[in-house]
A = this chain, B = another copy of it.
Amino acid sequence: MLLIRMIILILPYIDQYLNSSPFFMFEPTTLKDIAKALGLSTSTVSRALRDTHEISVETKKIVLEYAEKINYRPNPIALSLKERRTKSIGVLVSEVANHYFSQAIGGIESIAYDRGYHVIITQTHESYDREKINIQHLASRGVDGLLVSLSAETSDTSHLKLLHDRGLPMVFFDRVANDIETHKISANNEKGAYDATIQLLESGRRKIAHLTSSNHLSISIERLAGYTAALNEYGIPLQEEYIKHCPHGGMFQEETEHAISELMSLEDKPDAIFVAGDRLSIGCLTVLKKFNIAVPEEIAVSGFSNSDVLDLFKSSLSSVRQPAYEMGRMATEMLIKLIESKYPVTEFENRVLDTELVIRS
């Protein structure tokens, strides 16, 4: 009777023990280990390693040599807990498989690692919910700052605003939030879009459609403006039915396919498309190929893309290339400056970099 009771009693503990105890023997050495081995206190060891003046030269030497020997590394987690910073920055992009973002991430890492920061990358896949979850995740995980490029679905940025108001440093790149006051870096989207559209116009096209991402994204708005300006310059009126938005930035191929097929079933079919995004550009060409529409004979295509593979073909697609790597570097530098600033920053930069028009037709 008693035995049974006891077993019932300890059952949850057994379960707990098993659950909380994965096999894991990876245990680095600590200050305490050094202190014990050398017959000193942890404080002395800590101070010796940090080269404080109040430790004798001999003791320092002994400690340093021993630490070197056993390859001691301070536990960054303990440090984070104490210093209230993690030496890591969180990155939010729509997807790493996007050429623009993978190049930008290259730039981000190059700076971050030089400055001793870790980079934690998260992907939204253009989903607002995913964005909220990831941001929350990163914040609770205690990143020191955030590099953000909004998802296509995002129109409400209150989840970011809340964190920003509470003092979490953040820098926007590419897809910026207009209602949050902080450093921002983007390409000259309007100019890039203008250039691409002008180039289509110069090549004789007049019925130019515009395939773009969701209409609350900063880049969509700016690129649309450039497109409009170019048409204006040629005295061509804007036609609503020529402008197609993909709310998920072409994450789903059906979206793109639907938009293109609508365009191609218009009475007055377009003879060119200006595409406002990396994924959309590839998606657009894929759909056109599927529909057996000749590019550029039947329809010319020009769009934003950072794919280096496009260079290989004397092909149908002219493209606007953003300085992705440089943008990543700059954004990271700005963020680290924010993070390490001793005083609240009130003046914010809004840097705009030129794009490059690569003509291939």
Binding site for B on A (CB under 8 A): 12, 18, 20-28, 53, 73, 75-78, 80-81, 83-86, 88, 95-97, 99, 102-103, 105-106, 109, 113, 118-123, 137, 140-142, 144, 163, 166-168, 282, 285-286, 289, 307-313, 315, 339-345
Contacts and interface: CB of A to CB of B under 8 A. Distances in A.
26 contacts: A22-B85, A23-B342, A24-B84, A24-B85, A24-B167, A24-B339, A26-B166, A26-B167, A76-B142, A77-B80, A77-B81, A77-B86, A78-B81, A88-B120, A95-B106, A96-B105, A97-B102, A106-B123, A109-B122, A113-B122, A118-B120, A119-B122, A286-B311, A309-B309, A309-B310, A313-B315
Given A77-B77, A77-B80, A102-B102, 18 more contacts: A12-B53, A22-B340, A22-B342, A23-B345, A24-B144, A25-B167, A26-B167, A75-B142, A76-B142, A77-B81, A77-B142, A78-B81, A96-B96, A97-B99, A97-B103, A109-B122, A118-B141, A282-B312
Nearest to A166: B26
What is the copy number of this chain in the assembly?
Answer: 2
The 3 A-B pairs at the shortest CB distance, nearest first, are namely A25-B167, A309-B309, A26-B167
A142 B118 CA distance: 12
A230 to B, nearest CB: 25
Nearest to A133: B113
A53 to B, nearest CB: 8
Contacts of A78: 81
A103 B96 CA distance: 8
